[in-house]
Amino acid sequence: MKRKAVLLSLVLGSLLPVAPRLAAQCGTTTCPAQTLGTIELPADGATVFGWVRVQGFALDGNLVSNVNVYVDGTDSVDLVTEPGGANINLPRPDVMQAFPAYLGTPGANPGFEIGFLASNYSNGTHTIYIQIIDVTGCCYFLAPVTVTIDNTQNQPPFGNVDLPMDQSAPQSNGVLQVVGWALGEHQVDHVDVYIDGLIERQAVMGQPRPDIAADYPGDLQAITSGFILNVDSTTLTNGVHTVSVKAVDILGLEGLLGVRQIQVFNNAPNLPPFGEVEVPLLNSTWFGNCFAAPPGGPSGQPPIIDVRYVQYVSGWVLDTSVAADRGGTAYVQLQVDGVVVSDTRLDCHREILLANSLINCYGYYRPDIEVLYPGFPVVPNAGFRFVVDPAYLITQLGMAEGSHILSVIAADMEDQITQIGDVPVVMLCGTQTLDEPPIGYVDSPTEYQFINGVFPVIGWALDLNFVAAVRIMIDGVVQIDAVSGLDTAQYGFVRPDVTALYPNYPQSIAPGFRFYLDTTKISNSEHDLLIEVQDALGNRQSAGTRRIIVDNQTLVR
């Protein structure tokens, strides 16, 4: 395999002594007796053009804090890397296999990677130097490599196919997901996905890829260099198929990103529906008027006791077995603690108390889902939405105040049933003497989205006692807006979509908020992002939680 060849070359290369440490750049901190490392890419003597990928590893037993790239010298004027250096501390199991003595040390993830533009340098011979700095202050240079820059050549787009994985015929049934990234010296225009040599579709570009932005910090397109295409594999015959992905830039240059062999094995009647519950957020608080019904009384099925407090459960569902059998989504159910409270087969109707809109139905228009799942049956009419009055659940169905679990269940025509998602909520009763909780939502980031740098958190919030302030908390700690320097979000952005759903709330015309979250001050791991709303009475309550993953690979000072 190609990986074994790389391993052999890096083992031999790493046994070579590193370049002598340059005191002017590194200071006087003593380094461990044995420092290992090598520059794997570009190869010594290679001809390069476009984006030059610099890759390698460095080991001295300590955690590396910074890796810098220099060209044609080691003075500050020769520094290539952006502030913060290269993408570092990358896992390299091949290196650990070659040097097991470093397993369990702080420096057990010794890989680094960075890219720079060859067009910033003249044609001809140039020397690349790599400076390694660890957390103890130890500093040394790896043995340099010499390359020839040829800017007369245009670099085609490059990248990778992450899914399907590069292994022996991975199995696929239902949805075949093609995921990866593409960049180029010139802007990438589109990404084509081929199956068995025939073009399937163009992938959806612009997906967030903070890991690629860390590798190519000088390319403004890198942060959104990801692509995705979801293919209904039931349209393919069972057996082995070849997936090829090519990227084309604005000059028409084409680059092959990867070729994968897949094994399709579909039993259409056994493929269940799939989808997502988007609303409400985790740990939202639902509030109901458990005492007095407004004029006109209850209406609809199930009843709405007080239209001011209705809550929404919404998302989308698709099914892949339509092409091969009598598939398709048959119904979607909303359950609370295992009790069915609404079923799209029985409860879909127009509600006069909500401007005669359709509620408790499946088949809402969702063009955004069609973008991600083009060619699937049913799209773009794949949405579901339930309307619930918490007071009805408490007073009529006998559910207690407190914590509950919402579950959304979907079934297809072949009676395959899937639990689309579980969402914990808190249901409360109240009167005018109590403080009604706020409602809100985070549009960006999405659930479990990878984010990095200064990330704009966008959403909305409403409260019957008026919203005085919105705060963003990470794991219970109030955050400071990276732009304004305040501990509150900007509030008052127009949101006509929210206005249509909650016309009875004050401020419903402009309930949007925006907050610039500095993720560099948060550890690289999973976190809970919580919306805290302060009302005009001074009360603070949560409007819900969003799970996120912070992924800052570069050191930010």
**Mean per-residue pLDDT for 4-33?**
50
Q: Is 9 helix (H, G, I), strand (E, B) or coil?
A: helix
Helices and strands of the chain, counted as H and E runs:
8, 38
- Domain boundary among the residues 266, 295, 328 is at 266
- Domain boundary among the residues 91, 122, 149 is at 149
In the chain, the amino acid numbered 481 is D
Say if residue 256 is in the same domain as residue 305.
no
Per-residue pLDDT reduced to its tens digit, 137-155: 888 999 999 999 999 988 8
The chain-wide mean pLDDT, for the chain, equals 85
Say if residue 369 is in the same domain as residue 448.
no
Which segment, 198-207, 264-273, 326-335, is predicted with the most confidence on average? 198-207
Tokens representing residue 166 in the block: 């590069």
pLDDT of residue 255: 93
Sign of the C-alpha dihedral computed for residues 543, 546, 552 and 555 taken in this order? positive
State percent of the chain over pLDDT 70: 88
Tokens representing residue 267 in the block: 């039993």
What single-letter DSSP state applies at residue 308?
G
Residue pair 188/332 in contact (Cβ under 8 Å)? The answer is no
Please report which residue ranges of 227-315 form alpha helices under DSSP H: none
Say if residue 450 is in the same domain as residue 540.
yes
d(CA 168, CA 102): 31
Closest CA to 437 of 505, 341, 388, 528: 505
- Domain boundary among the residues 231, 248, 266 is at 266
Say if residue 421 is in the same domain as residue 446.
no
H or E element at residue 403 = strand 402-412
Question: Residue 555: is its pLDDT beyond 80?
Answer: no
Say if residue 200 is in the same domain as residue 342.
no
Question: Residue 292: is its pLDDT beyond 90?
Answer: no
Say if residue 273 is in the same domain as residue 422.
yes
| 56: CB partners within 8 A, 6+ apart | 10, 37, 38, 39, 40, 41, 111, 112, 130, 142
Residue pair 88/555 in contact (Cβ under 8 Å)? The answer is yes
**Mean per-residue pLDDT for 363-392?**
90
Say if residue 121 is in the same domain as residue 166.
no
Greater confidence (43 vs 17) lies with: 43
Question: Residue 333: is its pLDDT beyond 90?
Answer: yes
**Mean per-residue pLDDT for 50-56?**
92
**Mean per-residue pLDDT for 468-477?**
94
The domain tally of the chain equals 4
**Mean per-residue pLDDT for 270-275?**
84
pLDDT of residue 174: 78
Per-residue pLDDT reduced to its tens digit, 360-371: 999 999 988 988
d(CA 202, CA 245): 9
Residue pair 232/375 in contact (Cβ under 8 Å)? The answer is yes
Say if residue 122 is in the same domain as residue 219.
no
Question: Residue 296: is its pLDDT beyond 60?
Answer: no
pLDDT of residue 448: 86
Which CATH number belongs to the domain containing residue 202 in this structure? 2.60.40.650
Say if residue 460 is in the same domain as residue 539.
yes
Q: Is the peptide bond before 424 cis (omega within 30 degrees of 0)?
A: no
Torsion of the alpha carbons at 493, 499, 502 and 508, rounded to the nearest 10: 40
d(CA 219, CA 116): 9
pLDDT band, residue 13 (cuts 50/70/90):
very low
Say if residue 70 is in the same domain as residue 166.
no
Say if residue 122 is in the same domain as residue 177.
no
Question: Residue 479: is its pLDDT beyond 60?
Answer: yes
Radius of gyration of the chain (CA): 28
**Segments forming the whole domain that contains residue 529:** 435-557
Closest CA to 392 of 293, 295, 314, 283: 293
Say if residue 484 is in the same domain as residue 502.
yes
pLDDT band, residue 518 (cuts 50/70/90):
very high
Among the ranges given (54-63, 315-324, 435-444, 477-486), the one the predictor scored with the smallest mean pLDDT:
315-324
d(CA 473, CA 540): 12
* Cross-strand bridge partners of residue 227: 180, 205
Which CATH number belongs to the domain containing residue 407 in this structure? 2.60.40.10
